């Protein structure tokens, strides 16, 4: 089960790798500022990405941009900085999970 925001709460900023920022812009048409905005909108669903946590703990987030676009983000936390590795549109399975979370939170 995903947890609500927990690991993100202690973060105070963002760190970007220029290559990842460019990849997200080119492949997924998402600018860093848009990705960062997802973390400030509710609901935000955050969970551990165990499958990709071989060398450092990784997380995923499901949320919405400031203009209501649904995004999936893969990220790590380094110190107090949130480092986004990848951001893209949610797929159908992720969107269903997000919608179900939204319904449960609103109930």
- Between vectors from CA 32 to CA 26 and to CA 88, what angle results, nearest 5°? 55
Question: What is the C-alpha to C-alpha distance for residues 67 and 65, in angstroms, rounded to an integer?
Answer: 5
Calculated CA dihedral for residues 43, 38, 49, 97, nearest 10 degrees: 40
Residue 1 lies in a domain: no
At residue 1, the pLDDT reads 42
Q: How far is residue 94 from each of residues 73, 97, 106, measured CA to CA in Å?
A: 11, 5, 18
pLDDT, tens digit (0-9, with 9 covering 90-100), for 45-64: 999 887 766 778 999 999 99
Range of the domain at 54: 6-106
**pTM for this one?**
0.85
Query: 14 pLDDT band (50/70/90 cuts)?
Result: very high
pLDDT digits (tens, 9 = 90+) for 72-96: 999 999 999 999 999 999 999 999 9
Domains: count for the chain = 1
Share of the chain above pLDDT 70, in %: 92
């Amino acid at each position: 089960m995903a947890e609500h925001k927990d690991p993100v709460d202690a973060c105070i900023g963002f760190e970007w790798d220029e290559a990842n920022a460019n990849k997200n812009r080119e492949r997924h048409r998402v600018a860093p500022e848009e990705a960062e905005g997802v973390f400030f909108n509710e609901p935000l669903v955050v969970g551990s990405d165990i499958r990709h946590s071989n060398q450092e703990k990784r997380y995923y987030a499901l949320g919405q941009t400031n203009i209501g676009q649904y995004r999936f983000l893969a990220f790590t936390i380094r110190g107090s900085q949130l480092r986004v590795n990848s951001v893209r549109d949610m797929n159908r399975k992720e969107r269903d999970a997000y919608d179900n979370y939204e319904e449960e939170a609103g109930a």
